[in-house]
Structure 1
Amino acid sequence: MADPRRAIPRTDTVLAEPPVAKAAETLGRDLVKALVVAAQQRARAGEIEPGEVVDEVLARLPVTVSSLRPVLNATGVLVHTNLGRAPLSPAALDAVVAAGGTTDVEFDLETGERAKRGRSALAALADAVPSAVHVVNNNAAALLLCALALAQGKEIVVGRGELVEIGDGFRIPDLLASTGARLREVGTTNRTTVGDYAAAIGPDTGFVLKVHPSNYRVTGFTAEASIAELAGLGVPVVADVGSGLLAPHPLLPGEPDVTTALAGGATVVTASGDKLFGGPQAGLLFGDTAVIERLRRHPAARALRVDKLTLAALEATLRGPEPPVRAALDADLGELRTRAEALATSLRSAGIDAEAVPSTAVVGGGGAPGVDLPSAAVALPARYATALRLGEPPVVGRIVRDRCLLDLRTVRPADDPALREAVRRCR
């Protein structure tokens, strides 16, 4: 009998198939050729039929050349650090694509002269929060720049209860000390008064630092000095509000925001761009005109600056429609329940053990620690969690009481059909 392996199509024959050839144009010939060779090897091993090689290649084509894969976030964590924090709005994504080519990021088309970098994005930030503004690549970089420009060789006065650790073991005290500034710790873990700060201020004080505790709360017998109290001490006050909330939000009454911090007298306010702000990773600095200009002109500012893609996404987040994080935060609980019921009913009709259940979502990313957001979810058997993560598209939920919960507060309504089909494929 003839060897069936002789029926396996040649590499050049598979690459010439129209859908494969088109994929090679967008993803690169080397990547697609590697998939062809892998499919041929599976056919030689008898795992697939020779006539299935082309289908195997097409089934394994990635969405993009990048190894990063789009994921449906059904965890109920609005700003999930491990899933890239804030998803960009369609307007921001379009802006990034437009900015990916040659742009006028630092060029005035009218005069033909060099222009201020990112002027439109900075104007959008200043319109949202009237103040001087500057942008660096993340909030840690914003604090780093403040320490370098305002306190190198001097002291930074900070409350002991605000010496926080951020993601992956990075600690704010270590970050600040690396700039050559000295930390002057005041107060205790649970109680720090304005008098503690006042007693520590002297000729070597660069600024007082007020940090919003990230991922935890101190409750019980506590006290802390307000920004307004600290502003009366006669030295600059740098307030790290963390989550990027620009103005007060009714669902987050205890979450500090940029507008309130500036009104309280902060000299500089720093915040993240990829949390409650809802945009790309960036460190946002707002505040006193002279101080912000001093930060902007510091030599380290060049090393910390953002690229044109970030500037484009920032501006579009501010100028365009509501970003996904804000939409998730403001989602109507009744609508979430209706969606959960509809999804559960549809899945049950397909023979899947699914039910709509109450759920609790959180902001995440260090924002609004301790604040619960009522939500609705679809509950499935726990075994679905792994299968969903390994599916296409990957779906990430959470396990609660041996059930896999798919929380809809972090799933866009437009993605409900994709979520339903992802679950059906896991039967």
Structure 2
Amino acid sequence: MTSDPRRLVPRTDVLLAEARVAAAVGRLGRDLVKAVVTGVQQQVRAGALAPDDAADAVLAALPGTASSLHRVLNATGVLVHTNLGRAPLSAAALEAVVATGGTTDVELDLATGRRGPRGEGAIDALLAAVPAAEAAIVVNNCAAALALVATCLGGELVVARGELVEIGDGFRIPDLLVSTGARLREVGTTNRVSAADYTDAVGPDTGAVLKVHPSNFVVRGFTRSVEVAELAPLLDVPLVADVGSGLLRPHPALPDEPDLQTTLADGADLVLCSGDKLLGGPQAGLVLGRADLVQRLRRHPLYRALRVDKTTLAALEATLRGPQPPVQRMLAATVQELRARAEAVVAALPGVDAVVADAGARVGGGGAPEFELPSVAVTLPASCAEELRQGQPPVVGYTAEGRTWLDLRSLDPADDDTLVTAVRACTS
């Protein structure tokens, strides 16, 4: 009589007790590992896997971490790619996150043993980086910063029609502003607005004049806008500028991108931006400017709901104080450096249809929408795109002209060898 095949299936407790699997339980958690064990048992039961191979199959099927998110190599040529988590953190920022993952002195003055100001180090680093600012606060993203300003300053917000923009995923700035209870006083036309349009609209109910950087689109032709330096001297109400991408100071590679220091020096009372774009830090919304206005925001009840956690504060401070973050290195890379890297990648792929090609990279994240950064890519057969994307680690490029393009400007040089290994795996 043939024995029941179910008797050959390794028991759950036996597999979980296997030394290597037990170590994985300590790292990933029992529930996650047990779910993988159950799947492997099904394979054994179906005859697709030998019982003696069950433990090895469990280890092979386990994820690298307890999170469902994957590390991805960004070869898209988009430096700040929203779908890929925007700015990669610097090594200093990652170390700071790990160091503050446990208990930390986020609101404790160790010298006195009393409650201390939250995020003081990150705020000091921001003010050192942007000397034109008197004070600053940090919330969880730029939309939160805008919502807090609109709620706190209240009343009527004067804003140009051409700046009532829609950004990613159908998110519309006017919808956010109205949701706070603010009333919008639209001025000018879609393509033209004058200083008089603003000043004529300001009245006793005006809470602020708001300028929003269009970020991901440009209107050309018969246009007119009013810069902060022209508008600020004409107003007796707060002038708030949402500059978007978080460029701290002017950058030679992005001459038309607004920056925090210049915007404040030109007369803005408050500036808002994201922390995870050109600044190169974690997701955060930054508000810098006049001390009295920042204090009003800090004391508003909504601020409590929007404030960031200890790891964000630590990563932001380390980004500002530490070495140049990856996004800044990407911007600074020369075509010669990129070409040398691409040639080294191709040389490491003998027999593979890999070609070095000139490419055009983008800032991404709504920054410098029309500005193309000269770059260099490695191109492969079009069929490689899907295999690379589903590999370990996934490599995301783009397809054009019947080829898969892997742009090296958006890829950390330390990942070039990993890229070579991934290409070999999909072309072997």
Q: TM-score, normalised by structure 2?
A: 0.96
SS at match of 1:209: strand
Tell me, yes or no, if structure 1 residue 138 matches structure 2 residue 141.
yes
Give the superposition deviation at 1:206.
1.1
Give the superposition deviation at 1:24.
0.7
Q: Distance in 2 between matches of 1:329 and 1:19?
A: 44
Aligned 8 A contact 1:191 1:224 in 2: yes
SS at match of 1:424: helix
Instruction: Identify the range of structure 1 (388-397 vs 190-199) with the bigger mean alpha-carbon deviation.
Output: 190-199
Residue deviations 1:9-65, cap 9 Å, x none?
Answer: 332332222221111111011211211121121122232333322221111111111
Aligned 8 A contact 1:357 1:377 in 2: yes
Letter in 2 for 1:250: P
Match of 2:284 in 1: 282
Instruction: Identify the range of structure 1 (394-403 vs 4-13) with the bigger mean alpha-carbon deviation.
Output: 4-13
After TM superposition, the structure 1 = structure 2 runs for residues 393-404 of structure 1, keeping only pairs within 5 Å, are 393-404=393-404
SS at match of 1:165: coil
Give the superposition deviation at 1:166.
2.0
Match of 1:148 in 2: 151
Give the superposition deviation at 1:3.
6.5
**Gapped runs of 5+ residues in structure 2?**
none
Aligned 8 A contact 1:5 1:50 in 2: no
After TM superposition, the structure 1 = structure 2 runs for residues 25-424 of structure 1, keeping only pairs within 5 Å, are 25-130=26-131, 131=133, 132-150=135-153, 152=154, 154-234=155-235, 235-347=237-349, 349=350, 351-424=351-424
Give the superposition deviation at 1:8.
4.0
Give the superposition deviation at 1:232.
1.5
**Gapped runs of 5+ residues in structure 1?**
none
Q: Distance in 2 between matches of 1:129 and 1:270?
A: 13
Q: Distance in 1 between matches of 2:117 and 2:3?
A: 72
Residue deviations 1:101-154, cap 9 Å, x none?
Answer: 11100000110111101111111111111221111111011111111111x2x2
SS at match of 2:409: helix
Q: Distance in 1 between matches of 2:83 and 2:117?
A: 34
**How many residues are treated as equivalent by the alignment?**
423
Q: Distance in 1 between matches of 2:257 and 2:142?
A: 17
Q: Distance in 1 between matches of 2:55 and 2:355?
A: 39
SS at match of 2:138: strand
> Sequence identity of aligned pairs in percent?
65
Residue deviations 1:270-324, cap 9 Å, x none?
Answer: 0000100101111101101111111111111111111111101100101111111
Q: Distance in 2 between matches of 1:380 and 1:75?
A: 14
Q: Distance in 2 between matches of 1:260 and 1:410?
A: 27
Q: Distance in 1 between matches of 2:402 and 2:137?
A: 47
Q: Distance in 1 between matches of 2:63 and 2:258?
A: 41
Letter in 1 for 2:357: V
SS at match of 1:426: helix
Aligned 8 A contact 1:8 1:51 in 2: no
SS at match of 1:64: coil
Q: Distance in 2 between matches of 1:353 and 1:20?
A: 40
